């Protein structure tokens, strides 16, 4: 009964917030808009627009810094100003008319703090600042919050990140399909048609496409936040099909684990892809999650205003009493609440890989069972980097809509370089909530290699719905200065597959796909030991996956109790 009541209160709060913003946006006085320029280090001028309520007095300020052009944020600036805030929207260095050269991430700390100092001496500022932003904008806000500057009082992070290394690489593999389209778009403000983009993806070496950006990326890989300096309330918002959701979850957890008041960190996880939190869409790929999954601009802004009203204006204390986490359970298609992420009432179950030595493709003998293998043996496949397993579905870049969201994996599962392990049908409903991980014992003929894992729900009608996936690059396992993997040696690949919240109905099955590529989501490992960013030549190699009493390959599923 208590759970149902919380659920209804959550729905009611969304409705009331939307009504509040509607009334505010249609019944308030006009706002003022001021064009300004902030002088950054080196003398570059940063184009800045300020939105102010009509009455001339001091206000708390919302600071937003963007590389995408401040004109795209006019509606957001007006909404915050109508709610009684001074709003500063700035084009970062080298974008939207601001001086200098745009180098992603490089200048955002210094330029952000310079702008913060400028804000604090303006006649309309009361010295209290909230940082707000989605994606790169969220990163800019959190970055200056990590400086410990006392004027930053609260923040909202919508699919932003903190650790650049995990943003660019996953399991040691470059997140190629996520970031190359973004780089192309930033350079040309448009994307080539799909066929041309596919040719670009297949260009080798990769560094010839990046035009030297690979060196910059390498220098930035170790950069990150001083999480223990972020001690402000932050509302983190993301969606299961946002390609940055994992980075947002880790940012939430990292700040929460280090903050002196962990309860001030709140998390909302919906179903939307990147930036779709502002749309009315409830779809991701083949699946529509229903009206409860809808966020949209008005609701997101109402939540934002309510958050800042509490922490910048001291209006009510309801946020402090609400659960820390609200997450959408796919399949069940409703919101649930928890005091932390992942929820405490989750138990990891081990499901072991089994086969008769031929788990290749859908007609193979692979099984996923609770009982450990004994003694059993192994499965093999040929990994050919020149013919990689294609990416199809999942939490992928919004620039690649054809391979984004829920997709049927049966075509992928026809391939002989994909090992398939499937459980028996469930005799009851199973709800998975939390991180997913596969532990694969494997060897290769190559000097380096990758292993991939993909978790799939197999519905009674045969539809193979992607849940999540991950990768691990072999060289990340090397120790004692070793340069290459030892061919034939068995290594333990612990593959993180992100997280989920999904209900699997009675009669469904769960499936694990194991292979060595997922392209273009991740760059291809050439198998030669050469850096994949520099490699021109590929080598096909034999891969072996073991499942025995000595090498009990398995997947860990977070089952809600």
> For the segment 372-403, what is each residue's pLDDT rounded down to a tens digit?
999 989 999 999 999 999 999 999 999 999 99
Reply yes or no on whether the pLDDT at 18 is more than 90: no
Segment 63-72, tens digit of pLDDT = 999 999 999 9
Rounded-to-integer distance, Cα 182 and Cα 191, Å: 9
Segment 258-292, tens digit of pLDDT = 877 776 899 999 999 998 999 999 999 999 999 99
Specify the residue for token string 């702008």.
115
Least confident range of 103-107, 152-156, 201-205, 519-523: 103-107
Rounded-to-integer distance, Cα 545 and Cα 62, Å: 53
Please, which residues have CB within 8 angstroms of residue 461's CB and are 6 or more apart in sequence? none
Q: How far apart are the first and last CA of the chain?
A: 17
Percent of the chain with pLDDT over 90: 82
Is the distance from CB of 394 to CB of 521 less than 8 angstroms?
Answer: yes
Please, which residues have CB within 8 angstroms of residue 346's CB and are 6 or more apart in sequence? 433, 434, 558, 559, 560, 561
pLDDT at res. 394: 98
Average pLDDT score over the chain: 91
Please, which residues have CB within 8 angstroms of residue 284's CB and are 6 or more apart in sequence? 239, 240, 241, 271, 272, 273, 276, 404, 405, 406
For residues 131-151, give the mean pLDDT: 96
If residue 173 lies in a helix (H) or strand (E), which one and from where to where? strand 173-174
What SS3 string covers 21-33?
Answer: HHHHHHHCCCEEE
Pairing of strands 378-383, 367-369: unpaired
Rounded-to-integer distance, Cα 528 and Cα 3, Å: 55
CA 219 to the chain's CA centroid: 22
pLDDT at res. 203: 95
Reply yes or no on whether the pLDDT at 6 is more than 60: no
The three-state secondary structure class of 144 is helix
pLDDT at res. 183: 87
pLDDT at res. 482: 96
pLDDT at res. 321: 65
């Amino acid at each position: 009964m208590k759970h149902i009541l919380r659920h209804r209160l959550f729905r009611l709060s969304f409705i009331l917030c939307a009504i509040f913003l509607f009334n505010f946006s249609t019944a308030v006085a006009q706002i003022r808009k001021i064009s300004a320029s902030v002088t950054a280090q080196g003398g570059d001028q940063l184009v800045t627009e300020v939105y102010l309520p009509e009455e001339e007095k001091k206000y708390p300020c919302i600071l937003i810094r963007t590389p995408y052009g401040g004109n795209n944020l006019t509606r957001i600036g007006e909404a915050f100003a109508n709610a009684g805030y001074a709003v500063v929207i700035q084009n970062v260095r080298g974008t939207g008319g601001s001086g200098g050269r745009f180098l992603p991430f490089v200048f955002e700390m210094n330029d952000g703090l310079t702008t913060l100092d400028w804000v604090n001496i303006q006649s309309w500022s009361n010295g209290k600042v909230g940082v707000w932003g989605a994606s790169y904008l969220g990163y800019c806000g959190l970055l200056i919050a990590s400086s410990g500057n006392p004027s930053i009082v609260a923040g909202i992070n919508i699919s932003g990140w903190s650790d650049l290394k995990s943003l660019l690489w996953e399991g040691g593999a470059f997140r190629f399909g996520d970031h190359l389209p973004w780089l192309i778009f930033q350079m040309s403000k448009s994307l080539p048609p799909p066929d041309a983009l596919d040719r670009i993806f297949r260009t080798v070496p990769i560094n010839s496409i990046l035009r030297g950006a690979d060196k910059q990326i390498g220098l930035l890989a170790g950069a990150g936040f001083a999480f223990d300096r972020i001690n402000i309330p932050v509302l983190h918002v993301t969606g299961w099909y946002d390609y940055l959701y994992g980075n947002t979850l880790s940012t939430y957890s990292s700040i929460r684990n280090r903050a002196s008041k962990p309860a001030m960190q709140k998390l909302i996880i919906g179903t939307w892809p990147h930036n779709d939190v502002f749309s009315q869409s409830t779809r991701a790929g083949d699946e529509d999650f229903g009206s409860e999954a809808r966020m949209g601009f008005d609701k997101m802004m109402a939540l934002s205003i309510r958050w800042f009203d509490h922490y910048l204006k001291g209006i009510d204390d309801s946020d402090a009493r609400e659960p820390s986490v609200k997450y959408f359970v796919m399949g069940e298609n409703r919101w649930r609440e928890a005091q932390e992420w992942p929820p405490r009432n989750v138990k990891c179950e081990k499901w072991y890989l089994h086969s008769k030595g031929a788990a290749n493709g859908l007609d193979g003998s692979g099984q996923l069972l609770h009982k450990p293998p004994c003694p059993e043996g192994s499965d093999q496949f040929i990994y050919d980097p020149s013919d990689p397993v294609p990416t199809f579905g999942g939490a992928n870049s919004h620039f690649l809509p054809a391979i984004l969201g829920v997709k049927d994996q049966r075509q992928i599962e026809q391939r002989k370089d994909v090992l398939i392990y499937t459980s028996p049908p469930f005799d009851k409903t199973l709800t998975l909530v939390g991180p997913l991980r596969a532990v694969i014992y494997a060897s290769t003929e190559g000097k380096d290699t990758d292993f991939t894992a993909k978790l799939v729900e197999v519905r009674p009608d045969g539809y193979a719905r992607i849940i999540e996936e991950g990768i691990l690059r072999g060289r990340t396992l090397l120790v004692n200065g070793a340069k290459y993997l030892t061919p034939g040696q068995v290594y333990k690949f612990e593959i993180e597959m992100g997280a989920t919240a999904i209900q699997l109905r009675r009669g469904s099955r769960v499936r694990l796909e194991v292979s060595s590529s997922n392209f273009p989501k991740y760059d291809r490992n050439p198998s030669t030991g050469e850096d994949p960013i520099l490699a021109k030549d590929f080598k096909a190699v034999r891969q072996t996956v073991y499942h025995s009493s000595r090498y009990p390959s398995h997947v860990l599923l977070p089952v809600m109790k």
